[in-house]
Amino acid sequence: MMSYHDPVVQGGFTPTPDTARAFRDALGRFATGVTIVTINRTAGPMGFTANSFSSLSMDPPLVLWSLAKSAQRYPYFAGADHFAIHVLAADQLHLIDRFHRNGPGFDGLKHEFSAHGVPLLAGALARFECEMHTTYEGGDHLIVVGRVQRVVCEDGAPLVFLGGRFRQFSAMA
């Protein structure tokens, strides 16, 4: 078992080449859900996987996710007026490879479109159809806040990401 006991640094922690792995490992101890964010653009539908999703506000209904500024798809997602966030079910692991860098994305994948033309994936545990509300600078990421316009919720077990691996959630008895 790895153990890191770095001293507290006044003014905050700044990862260095020596401590970046410890920082990443510590973040990996927090289990997250897995989502696919989708948009439509002139050239067709586009999506990518994200585990940075979070609720933000109930009134108004706001959610957030973050987008790496270094991502090839950054300009499209940062400039989208509408998007959908799909919370993946445990049996949707196959969608991850479709939406990773250089994956086939929507090619050959059955999908529908929202009233705003956003591509929608079937079978997600939850789907949040959003209008862009605002964005914030967040270091090497852009924090995207969406105002939820429609929500769909299904029964099932979630796909989770923990310790650098995709996993299935198992409820404690």
What is the per-residue pLDDT across 71-108, written as a single tens digit (0 to 9) for each? Answer: 999 999 999 999 999 999 999 999 998 998 788 999 99
Helix (H) or strand (E) holding 37: strand 35-41
**pLDDT value at position 165?**
74
**pLDDT value at position 1?**
47
For residue 60, cis peptide bond before it (omega within 30 degrees of 0): yes
Can you list the alpha helix ranges (DSSP code H) found in 45-159? 74-78, 94-99
Cα separation, 129 vs 37, in Å, equals 10
Which phi and psi angles does 118 have, rounded to 5°?
-85, 130
CB 74 within 8 A of CB 120: no
**pLDDT value at position 137?**
95
- Which parts of the chain have pLDDT scores under 70? 1-13, 15, 30, 162, 170-173
Judge if pTM exceeds 0.95: no
Q: Exposed e or buried b for every residue in 7-46, given b needs 16+ CB within 10 A?
A: eeeeeeeeeeeeeeebeeeeeeeeebbbbbbbbbeeeebb
**pLDDT value at position 10?**
53
Counting Cα atoms < 13 Å in the Cβ hemisphere of 114 gives 25
**pLDDT value at position 172?**
57
Radius of gyration of the chain (CA): 17
**pLDDT value at position 11?**
58
SS3 92: helix
In the block, which residue shows the tokens 């990401």? 161
